[in-house]
């Protein structure tokens, strides 16, 4: 399926499944959907709890976690990323529930410093691309603590 949004690769902040996530990030809050019935976190966002069908409420979490895995991207496969390389993309396991793994960026850190399970903390930064001038989206990124 071809992506036809003219602001790609910015995230689609108007998708109803993820609008609260990006609205929270814009306010400096990391929000994760949590089941109103069983209390478990549900990630990735979906319509209902996959365990019991319960409704979901976006809940603030601490923003602390550990580095589950990462990749140092040194070659841009899309023109939008040409001026961003090298960068670190990662999966961060949240302290509240390590099964919740956010696909994110690790910033302000030399790649050589990264080790598995390293403690990290969220920060909120604008995601911008020169191919989408004048637009940015605040997203959760992580730094080593």
Are residues 102 and 52 in contact, defined by beta-carbon separation less than 8 angstroms?
A: no
CB 115 within 8 A of CB 38: no
85 touches Zn ion (CB under 5 A): no
- Cβ at position 24, least distance to Zn ion in Å: 21
For position 47 contacting Zn ion by CB under 5 A, the verdict is: no
Q: Is 52 in the site for Zn ion (CB under 5 A)?
A: yes
**Judged by CB, which is closer to Zn ion: 67, or 100?**
100
Q: Is residue 108 involved in binding Zn ion (CB under 5 A)?
A: no
From CA 14, how far away is CA 40, in angstroms rounded? Answer: 25
Q: What six digits make up the tokens of 37?
A: 């019935």
Per CB under 5 A, does 46 bind Zn ion?
Answer: no
Q: Least distance to Zn ion from the beta carbon of 18, Å?
A: 19
> Which sign, positive or negative, has the C-alpha torsion 26, 21, 141, 132?
negative
What does the binding site for Zn ion look like in residue numbers (CB under 5 A)? 35, 37-38, 49, 51-52, 54
């Amino acid at each position: 399926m071809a992506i036809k949004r003219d602001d790609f690769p910015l995230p689609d902040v108007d998708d109803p499944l993820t609008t609260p996530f990006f609205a929270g990030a814009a306010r400096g809050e990391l929000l994760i959907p949590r089941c109103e019935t069983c209390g478990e976190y549900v990630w990735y966002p979906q319509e209902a709890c996959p365990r019991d069908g319960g409704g979901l409420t976006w809940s603030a979490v601490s923003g602390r976690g550990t580095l589950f895995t990462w990749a140092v991207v040194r070659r841009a496969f899309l023109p939008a990323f040409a001026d961003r390389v090298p960068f670190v993309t990662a999966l961060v396991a949240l302290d509240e529930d390590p099964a919740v793994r956010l696909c994110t960026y690790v910033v302000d850190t030399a790649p050589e410093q990264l080790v598995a399970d390293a403690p990290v903390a969220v920060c909120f930064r604008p995601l911008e691309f020169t191919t989408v001038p004048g637009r940015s989206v605040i997203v959760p990124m992580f730094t080593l603590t």
